[in-house]
Amino acid sequence: MGIQQDRTRGSRSRWVLSSASTTDPAGSAAMRAAMVAQVVSWSGSPLAISRGRRQLACSRSRR
């Protein structure tokens, strides 16, 4: 179980890194999403996940 959790955490951080490189103007938003993803990996709260996704979507639509 611990190994699987570690694997999902790695893929999530990789996704954040790839999105950060594609959205240069919204780099700060991507960094915020990365921080949220890190907090989620520690706490495992689905509420934080939805909040982070909403923030990322808002930053994309604003651009």
Residue 61 confidence (pLDDT) above 60: yes
pLDDT of 1 above 60: no
pLDDT at 14 over 60: no
Give the range of the structural domain holding residue 29, as residue numbers without chain letter.
Answer: 2-62
How high does pLDDT run on average in the chain? Answer: 59
CB distance 16 to 53 below 8 Å: no
Burial 41-52 (b: 16+ CB within 10 A, else e): beeeeeebbeeb
Average pLDDT value for residue range 41-53: 59
pLDDT of residue 17: 55
| Global pTM value | 0.26
